[in-house]
Structure 1
Amino acid sequence: MNIETRVYQLLSGSSDLIQLLENLRLEPFEDGENGIWKHEIPPLFCKKEHAPFLRISPIFESDGSYFDDAARSEEQRVLISFWCHTDTQAYQIKRCIDHVLKSNEFTHYTANENPRYRDTDIDLLMNNRKYRFFDWKNNEEE
């Protein structure tokens, strides 16, 4: 399974995260949207009133952990960007995302990057979190 799909399913399936986003949002989404998207946020929903909302983007996939000249795992990395109004909201959302992903064998990582900044295009606080996952292959996949 692609990492963005795996992360989307985990985050969308978290009633704690969905409830938190709904409680922080000034205007609810219509049409059953939950505020979590893969690859891009539809322009209709990319509005300050709809914050917080999240975007999931794959950023790396490569074989790893070789045994007998064959890759036994694939390292997958994902960037989760989310927009919110305040530092307090950013902290709450970050903790909830961390809980969901870390309890599903994801590791948070970052290196010399700016985790939060004001996105002047939409006047919201933009947050970036990177996670990695090792997808271990079993013998049936060969």
Structure 2
Amino acid sequence: MNIETRVYKLLTASDIPNLLNSIRGSVIPEEDGIWKHDIPETFRKKELAPFIRINPVYEGDYDYSDDSAMSEEQRVQISYWCKTDTQAYQIKQMLDDVLKVNDFTNYTANETPRYKDTDIDLLINHRKYRFFDWESEEENKYGNKNSKNWVR
């Protein structure tokens, strides 16, 4: 599964949409405030903050055996816009809680974690996470993990 889809499913199944609605003070009709790749223009508004965007930043083979990759390293950047640093902290804590129990690790590469996005007058926050997908090669090779050849 692609990293952005995996993260989207985890976040939308968690309490994060409820946290976003609570901070915002309203619900975005027919949306959860979380998007993959791009936030539609109609939802990039200060009054609809906070909202989240998920982007993949790296996918590559990892841990080889007999010249074959045993897993795939996947990295994702989660960016979110909010009004205050208190809101940023609340969202960061919940993102970490949800992703860490699902085998993601947080990492950084000497980046600025948050700054003012002057285009929209909100704080933009960036979090990066790493995940090792030990299932992808076997799922692709044999169709599903229930195959007699499935090895974990």
TM-score with structure 1 setting the length: 0.94
Deviation of residue 26 (structure 1)? 4.3
Q: Quick one: which amino acid aligns to residue 10 of structure 1?
A: L
Q: Which residue of 1 aligns with 2:70?
A: 72
Give the Cα–Cα distance (whole angstroms) in 2 for the partners of residues 47 and 141 of structure 1: 40
Structure-to-structure mapping, 1:96-115, within 5 angstroms: 96-115=94-113
Q: Which residue of 1 aligns with 2:23?
A: 24
Give the Cα–Cα distance (whole angstroms) in 1 for the partners of residues 17 and 77 of structure 2: 19
Unaligned segments of structure 1, at least 5 residues: none
> Secondary structure of 2:112's match?
coil
How many positions carry a matched residue from both structures?
140
TM-score with structure 2 setting the length: 0.88
Quote the RMSD (CA, aligned, Å). 1.2
Q: 118, 126, 129: which one pairs with 2:116? A: 118
Give the Cα–Cα distance (whole angstroms) in 1 for the partners of residues 18 and 40 of structure 2: 21
Give the Cα–Cα distance (whole angstroms) in 2 for the partners of residues 93 and 64 of structure 1: 30
> Secondary structure of 1:92's match?
helix
Q: Residue by residue, what CA displacement relative to the aligned partner does 1:26-54 show, whole Å, maximum 9, x if unpaired?
A: 44312x20100000000000100000000
Give the Cα–Cα distance (whole angstroms) in 1 for the partners of residues 110 and 19 of structure 2: 29
> Secondary structure of 1:28's match?
coil
Misfit runs of 4+, over 6 Å: none
Question: Aligned pair in 2 of structure 1 residues 68, 83: CA closer, same or farther (>3 Å)?
Answer: same
Q: Quick one: which amino acid aligns to residue 77 of structure 2?
A: L
Among the aligned pairs, what percent are the same residue? Answer: 64
Q: Which residue of 1 aligns with 2:12?
A: 12
